[in-house]
Amino acid sequence: MSGDARAGTQSGAGPAGAVAGGGPAADPVRRLGDGGRAARALVTLVVAVLLTAGTFWGDDDAFPFGPFRMYSTSSNTTGAISVAAIEARTDGGTWEPAHLNPWTVGMNRAEVEGQLDRIQADPALLGKLAEARDRLQPGAEPWTGMRLLRVSTVVVDTVPTGEERRQVLAEWSR
């Protein structure tokens, strides 16, 4: 008997698993029983109820059954948009804006914004960012000081007015 015949097919005849001669497969398709169908229907119903409830009463903590609030709500069209920023001082003594990203200080802006309370309570943490910058950019002039700022841009009816507010949140010096 050839290898194909042992596998249940003849060379060039029918799909794999078909019995020689074109009959039904040796293992027929198993159908889901009444209990299995009931379990699937119940799970589908529970998921649908959770998704619906999350749509109306959910929040970020309920994801994936609640919406991400940042996508499901809107902001005021007039007000201020604030972000964290840093300024660095070198031996020259002047404060210059510095990039707040992983290539400069080893952290993203969002990571720093998540630590604002800690940094304000302990400004020496800015020194850790300066040390990271020294490691990441060894040929650059070292920073002798850092400031963490909140920079707010004023908008009216979604249009920036050009007014910018700068508030120093923490300051560190070597």
Residue 39 — pLDDT band, cuts 50, 70, 90? Answer: very high
Q: 154 and 163 in contact (C-beta within 8 Å)?
A: yes
pLDDT surpasses 70 at 6: no
Two tokens, residue 30: 């198993």
Give per-residue pLDDT as tens, 78-136: 999 999 999 999 888 899 999 999 999 999 999 999 999 999 999 999 999 999 999 99
pLDDT of the residue at 8: 47
Q: Which helix (H) or strand (E) holds 40?
A: helix 34-57
CA distances, 19 to each of 12, 23, 30, 164 (Å): 13, 5, 17, 79
Q: 112 and 119 in contact (C-beta within 8 Å)?
A: yes
| In 57-144, beta strands by DSSP E | 79-89, 95-98
Q: Which of 80, 61, 59 is nearest to 71 (CA)?
A: 59
| In the chain, beta strands by DSSP E | 79-89, 95-98, 145-156, 159-173
Residue 16 — pLDDT band, cuts 50, 70, 90? Answer: low
What separation, in Å, do the N-terminal and C-terminal C-alpha atoms of the chain show? 86
Considering only residues 63 and 16, tell me which one the structure prediction assigns the higher pLDDT.
63
pLDDT of the residue at 58: 78
pLDDT of the residue at 9: 47
